[in-house]
Structure 1
Amino acid sequence: MGEQEDISLPKATVQKIISEVLESDLTFSKEAREIIIESGIEFIMILSSMASEMADKEAKKTIAPDHVIKALEELEYHEFIPYLEQILVEHKETQRIKERRDAKFKKSGLSEEELLRQQEELFRQSRNRFQQTSTTPGDGAEGAESLEAEADSSRSESVKAEEL
């Protein structure tokens, strides 16, 4: 490792992983945790270096997931590959969903300020309906369910507007 001594892994995260793997009646010393951290850093350095070489061979400036998978194969860590491929598929799906959601708001043609104004208006209307229903006898359960649905919809719109 030498010159790059400022590189580390989060100790709390490593400790959490160790605790999840170990049986509850076993303990793990700080020195052992430090060895795990150093080993993990070394593994990451070797893997990233090899993946970088793979990218260079293809005249690419960016390390792609395929380069990491090829590096794992070369290092004979075949058992990691199926899990990594599964995580990659899940990540790509999450990105597609996020891109579609972002595109929906961009296509709306509304500014963030306009979306926030509309959200506030929806909240105001919901509060007014709630106040009206709470004073009208007999509407209790139906009115509350309707207001809950409107509030959920408003919250959803709020989150989407904040993500812009």
Structure 2
Amino acid sequence: MSDHETGGIPSDEDLSLPKATVTKMISELLPNEVTCAKETRDLIIECCVEFIHLISSEANEICEQESKKTIAPEHIISALKRLGFESFTDEVESVLKDHKQQQKDRERKVNKMEQCGLSEAELLAQQEALFAKSREKFLTTQQ
């Protein structure tokens, strides 16, 4: 069945992870002299998809027990603990903290741009003028 036939929900066979990303992660984790066979990479992808499915199903149950409609990060952390992956929770909480900080930083940048009082076109023109001035300065020092 296609996504359309199942109401837009992909079947388990349709779920996967980007092969290039997984290959890159594997190569970063393995020593340089060790390679990974295609079949091994595919097995790792299947295991990862199954792990994600397991954790998300458990988190969904926790979410439903709390009468919530949205799975929150806390539900994922609780699911990891329930399923015996408690050793993962410190790293997950650390990544969550970093993610929240990045979101705040991104929002601050947007607010700073909005508060400067200039339009995006005006800011772009200023940037281009600075680039031109920098090029000119560079060229004069080269001569």
Work out which of the residue numbers 115, 124, 130 in structure 1 matches 2:137: 130
1:82-128 deviation per Cα after TM superposition (whole angstroms, max 9, x unaligned): 1111111111111111111111111223221222233234345x259
Work out which of the residue numbers 113, 117, 120 in structure 1 matches 2:121: 113
Are the structure 2 counterparts of residues 25 and 116 from structure 1 closer, same or farther at C-alpha, using a change threshold of 3 Å? closer
The alignment partner of 1:76 has SS state of coil
Q: What corresponds to 1:89 in structure 2?
A: 97
TM value normalised by structure 2: 0.77
| Structure 2 residue 78 is matched with structure 1 residue 70 | yes
Aligned partners of 2:125 and 2:30: how far apart in 1?
52
Percent identical: 47
* AA of the residue aligned to 2:84: E
Larger relative helix fraction = 1
Aligned partners of 2:127 and 2:31: how far apart in 1?
50
**What is the RMSD computed on CA atoms of the aligned residues?**
2.6
Q: What corresponds to 1:160 in structure 2?
A: none
| Structure 2 residue 12 is matched with structure 1 residue 4 | yes
Q: What corresponds to 1:104 in structure 2?
A: 112
Aligned partners of 2:43 and 2:125: how far apart in 1?
54
* AA of the residue aligned to 1:107: Q
* Structure 1 unmatched ranges of 5 or more: 135-139, 141-164
Name which structure has the greater RCO, CA cutoff 8 Å, separation 6+: 1
Question: Larger C-alpha radius of gyration, 1 or 2?
Answer: 1
* Structure 2 unmatched ranges of 5 or more: 1-10
* AA of the residue aligned to 2:22: V
Are the structure 2 counterparts of residues 115 and 65 from structure 1 closer, same or farther at C-alpha, using a change threshold of 3 Å? same
Aligned partners of 1:49 and 1:77: how far apart in 2?
15
